């Protein structure tokens, strides 16, 4: 399995929003510049994240986007689902009717176990976790909208 560019860029944009959490709306152009991502491509990604309820468009004086919830409540799993749809490696894991071999296929069981493992890992990692790791490299502190540091 290869992580898609859409998901990589989406996670990078969300980490950026997490680092700037509590500062008000962040302009897409600023995120695109900092993350070195095409503004046009990023706008499609943010649109999907907005539709899924992960980010919200701020319609005030400056505008921009903010996370819809506290970063410690948004998991990497939610982001993957919003941008990729399904995490299934093969269709038959979710729908055994698509393959006549599904009921006795060892590969289906293996893919199911892999999916369960990936889901578990992704559900255990939040945007706050990813941003804290990023913070370790940048030296920035991540705060909530009341100015309190967000625990990692």
* pTM attached to this predicted model: 0.83
- Structural domains counted in the chain: 1
Picking from 151, 133, 152, 140, the residue whose alpha carbon sits closest to that of residue 23 is 140
pLDDT band at residue 140 under the 50/70/90 scheme: low
Instruction: State pLDDT tens for residues 70-128.
Output: 999 999 999 999 999 888 888 888 888 888 888 888 988 898 899 999 999 999 999 99
Q: Is residue 19 part of a domain?
A: yes
What are phi and psi for residue 36, nearest 5 degrees?
A: 55, 50
Q: Is residue 31 part of a domain?
A: yes
Range of the domain at 39: 5-85+126-138
Comparison of pLDDT for 149 and 111, the residue scoring more:
111
DSSP 70: -
Q: Is residue 95 part of a domain?
A: no
Model confidence at 151: pLDDT above 50: no
As beta bridge partners, residue 26 has 65
Q: Give the per-residue pLDDT at 59.
A: 84
Whole-number Å distance between alpha carbons of 152 and 149: 9
CATH of the domain at 36: 1.10.10.10
Give start and end residues of each alpha helix (H) in the chain. 5-19, 28-35, 39-51, 76-84, 106-123, 127-138
The SS3 of residue 22 is coil
Q: Is residue 56 part of a domain?
A: yes
Q: Give the per-residue pLDDT at 139.
A: 54
Q: Is residue 150 part of a domain?
A: no
Q: Is residue 108 part of a domain?
A: no
């Amino acid at each position: 399995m290869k992580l898609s560019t859409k998901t990589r860029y989406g996670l990078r944009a969300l980490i950026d929003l997490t680092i700037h959490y509590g500062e008000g709306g962040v302009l897409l152009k600023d995120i695109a510049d900092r993350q070195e991502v095409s503004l046009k491509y990023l706008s499609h990604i943010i649109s999907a994240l907005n539709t899924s309820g992960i980010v919200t468009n701020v319609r005030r004086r400056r505008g921009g986007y903010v996370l819809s919830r506290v970063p410690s409540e948004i998991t990497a799993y939610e982001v993957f689902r919003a941008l990729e749809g399904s995490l299934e490696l093969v269709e038959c894991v979710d729908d055994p009717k698509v393959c006549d071999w599904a009921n006795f296929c060892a590969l289906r069981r293996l893919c199911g176990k892999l999916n369960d493992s990936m889901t578990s890992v992704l559900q255990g990692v939040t945007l706050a976790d990813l941003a804290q790791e990023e913070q370790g490299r940048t030296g920035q502190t991540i705060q909530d909208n009341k100015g309190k540091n967000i625990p990692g």
